């Protein structure tokens, strides 16, 4: 793993900390990637739909914020498809209004810069013949989404150009806006459109469309919006299963409490909170049945599980402005003696901030309620961590800080998870 040596986290004592300020477009594109991790059938679905939507929106005369909202909505349109089943169902051609639109809307509406896109996501399967009054953006999303659903990813793409275009044209006036269908026919006449659609560079193509837009605002989010945004991503990760419904919130709060006791700066605390929210991002690739399996995992299941931190690292390290967060978040299963996964880092390669998140992850996992087992008492959990520290697995100093301030750290974790549980229940309208 040569890339880990070149991108190793800062070593112990380093205080050269960046502001947490990811670029908006690059963060949204990375969420789009994460949404498609779960199945090869979905490979790049969100980016492909965004590419088609950007061309359609431009052809229809949209510019500025109106164009940006359509592309951003397309990049996140199936965010509410929290299970694999609902994601695959959404690919069926005549799919109509369903709960994943409403869930997507509820997740996106409160995230910074996503409010307008949320409204489009809410009705991205609406049929033009029934609801022509909806914003043009909804009809663009619908058509773009169906184009990608019609493409068979195993076949040569240009072989399918005629049949896909014909299938879209056939539904003009009922499923699709006839004007958009005509614009699509013009776009689809170019071979390059189809090659672009199947290209591994599709992410850069979408980014190029976004940045070429008049009034493009690929802003630095700044610390406050970055925190809000990462809370939204944590919900995408955690709400897939009641077993993990509050986990990332607990790890974030526990890590920040430990880091504050360790005397880290306010800037570092912000970064650590973001890292806590995002540490399990790669779990979006792990099927919910594995996450919910009550017994021990088989070797093969464990191999799937092990991919989650690898994926967290590779997705997060591509986000401009989150490089440091990527290392702190993704090394939470590395162990000081080199026995962790997936990079087999050891000792000084694991930054103090990453050591804090590793200990917080273990402590939170043990002390949080799980539907299939009772929570471990905080004192018992610290005992386990002390034992792990003695065996060179986790950082002795971090465990000492936890032991010295156990009640305060535990309270912080518990309060955060109680709040997150309330949000989870409201989201699914559970009592
Ligand atoms: Fe959908
Ligand atoms: Fe979709
Ligand atoms: Fe994890």
Of 342, 334, 336, 287, nearest to 314 by C-alpha is 342
Domain encompassing residue 276: 2-17+221-427
CB 331 within 8 A of CB 278: no
Query: Between 321 and 77, where is the model more confident?
Result: 77
**100 CA from centroid of ligand 3 (Å):** 26
Q: Could you tell me where the DSSP H helices lie in 161-246?
A: 161-170, 178-188, 191-197, 202-212, 222-238
Of 212, 230, 264, which marks where a domain is finished? 212
**412 CA from centroid of ligand 1 (Å):** 37
**129 CA from centroid of ligand 3 (Å):** 46
**337 CA from centroid of ligand 3 (Å):** 18
Domains: count for the chain:
2
pLDDT number for residue 218: 80
Distance of CA 350 to the CA centre of its chain: 24
Give the pLDDT confidence of 240-282 residue by residue, as tens digits.
Answer: 888 899 999 999 999 999 999 999 999 999 999 999 999 999 9
The number of the ligand nearest the C-alpha atom of 150 reads: 2
The number of the ligand nearest the C-alpha atom of 126 reads: 1
Give the pLDDT confidence of 8-67 residue by residue, as tens digits.
Answer: 444 444 446 677 778 899 999 999 999 988 777 778 999 999 999 999 999 999 999 999
Give the pLDDT confidence of 375-431 residue by residue, as tens digits.
Answer: 999 999 999 999 999 999 999 999 999 999 999 999 999 999 999 999 999 988 864
The answer to whether residues 168 and 289 belong to one domain is no
pLDDT number for residue 220: 84
The answer to whether residues 256 and 129 belong to one domain is no
Q: What is the pTM of this model?
A: 0.90
The number of the ligand nearest the C-alpha atom of 91 reads: 2
- Please state whether the peptide bond connecting residue 342 to the residue before it is cis, i.e. omega within 30 degrees of 0: yes
The answer to whether residues 243 and 287 belong to one domain is yes
The number of the ligand nearest the C-alpha atom of 46 reads: 2
The answer to whether residues 172 and 232 belong to one domain is no
Give the pLDDT confidence of 140-155 residue by residue, as tens digits.
Answer: 999 999 999 999 999 9
Q: How would DSSP label each residue in 294-327? A: -SPPPHHHHHHHHHHHHHHHHHHTTSTT-HHHHH
Give the pLDDT confidence of 295-339 residue by residue, as tens digits.
Answer: 889 999 999 999 999 999 999 999 988 989 999 999 999 999 999
- Torsion 222-225-227-231 (CA) sign: negative
Q: How would DSSP label each residue in 8-32? A: PPPPTT---------BHHHHHHHHH
Place of tokens 């940045």: 211
Of 212, 242, 273, which marks where a domain is finished? 212
pLDDT number for residue 7: 45
The answer to whether residues 182 and 246 belong to one domain is no
Of 190, 212, 234, which marks where a domain is finished? 212
């Amino acid at each position: 793993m040569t890339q880990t040596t070149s991108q190793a986290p800062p070593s112990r004592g380093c205080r050269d900390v960046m502001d947490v300020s990811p670029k908006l477009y690059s963060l949204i594109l990375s969420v789009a990637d994460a949404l498609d991790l779960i199945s090869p059938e979905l490979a790049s679905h969100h980016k492909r739909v965004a590419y088609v939507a950007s061309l359609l929106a431009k052809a229809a005369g949209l510019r500025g914020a109106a164009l940006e909202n359509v592309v951003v909505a397309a990049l996140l349109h199936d965010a509410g498809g929290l299970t694999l089943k609902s994601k695959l169902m959404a690919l069926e051609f005549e799919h109509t209004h369903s709960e994943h639109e409403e869930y997507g809307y509820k997740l996106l509406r409160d995230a910074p810069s996503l409010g307008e896109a949320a409204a489009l996501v809410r009705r991205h399967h609406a049929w033009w013949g029934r609801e022509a009054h909806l914003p043009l953006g909804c009809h663009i999303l619908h058509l773009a989404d169906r184009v990608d659903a019609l493409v068979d990813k195993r076949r040569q793409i240009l072989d399918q150009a005629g049949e896909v275009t014909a299938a879209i044209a056939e539904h003009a006036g009922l499923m699709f806006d006839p004007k958009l269908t005509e614009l699509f026919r013009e776009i689809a006449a170019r071979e390059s459109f189809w090659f672009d659609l199947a290209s591994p560079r599709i992410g850069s193509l979408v980014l190029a469309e976004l940045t070429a837009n008049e009034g493009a605002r690929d802003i630095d989010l700044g610390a406050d919006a970055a925190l809000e945004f990462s809370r939204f991503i944590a919900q995408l990760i955690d709400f897939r299963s009641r077993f993990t419904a509050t986990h990332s919130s607990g790890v974030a709060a526990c890590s920040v409490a430990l880091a504050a006791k360790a005397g880290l700066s306010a800037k570092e605390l912000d970064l650590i909170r973001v890292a806590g929210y995002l540490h399990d991002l790669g779990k979006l690739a792990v099927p919910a049945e594995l996450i919910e399996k009550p017994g021990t995992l088989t070797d093969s299941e464990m191999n799937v599980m092990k991919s989650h931190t690898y994926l967290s690292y590779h997705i997060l390290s591509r986000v401009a402005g989150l490089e440091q967060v990527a290392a702190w978040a993704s090394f939470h299963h590395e162990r000081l003696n080199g026995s962790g996964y997936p990079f087999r880092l050891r000792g000084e390669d694991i930054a103090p901030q990453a050591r804090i998140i590793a200990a917080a992850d273990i402590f939170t996992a043990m002390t949080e309620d799980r539907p299939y087992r009772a929570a471990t008492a905080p004192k018992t959990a610290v005992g386990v961590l002390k034992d792990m520290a003695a065996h060179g697995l986790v950082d002795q100093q971090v465990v000492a800080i936890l032991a010295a301030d156990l009640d305060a750290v535990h309270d912080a974790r518990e309060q955060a998870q109680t709040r997150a549980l309330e949000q989870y229940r409201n989201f699914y309208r559970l009592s």
